[in-house]
Amino acid sequence: MPGNRKGDRRERELVNELHDRGFAVMRAPASGSSTDRELPDVLAGNGDVFYAIEAKASNGRPIYLTGEEVEALVYFSQNFGAKPRIGVRFDREDWFFFHPADLYVTDGGNYRVKKETALADGTDIEELTGGSEQTTLTSD
């Protein structure tokens, strides 16, 4: 399925960007593999902050997550001691991140992120990882 390949490529991009910013990063095994437990797509930490990230990419259409996906992310994050984040990337745009509580909830109990919302309200990767960059700056 071409859609999954694209998602995988986007996920690898995200892993590489976090790694380049000084985070230890790992991707969860593909969903539907040997585990029944819902795992976040990406785990990242730098010793100060830890994120559990559910990553979604879109060609421009709104991104939807089920209530179960978001609940599983929050549950895992709380038990693991990580901050839950939904990472979204629309074609020709950068990654943007949201806390699950900041997402729009549909009448059906799903979560939605529109491209305009991501660009206007999302946290970019600079801001998400900003704390780590400041610790590596040296003053003259």
DSSP per residue over 93-115, as a string?
S-EEEE-GGGSEE-TTS-EEE-H
- Encode pLDDT of 21-48 as tens digits: 999 999 987 655 555 668 899 999 999 9
140 is in an annotated binding site: no
3-state helix, strand, coil in the chain (%, to 5): 40, 30, 35
41 annotated as belonging to a binding site for a ligand: yes
Query: pTM of the prediction?
Result: 0.85
Q: Tell me which of 31, 33, 34, 132 is the catalytic residue.
A: 31
Where are the chain's structural domains?
2-131
- Structure token pair of residue 85: 């984040």
CATH of domain 2-131: 3.40.1350.10
Segment 60-97, tens digit of pLDDT:
999 999 999 999 999 999 999 999 999 999 999 999 99
Q: Any binding-site annotation on 36? A: no
Does the annotation count 77 as an active-site position? Answer: no
Which pLDDT belongs to residue 4? 66
Q: Quick one: tokens of 35?
A: 């585990």
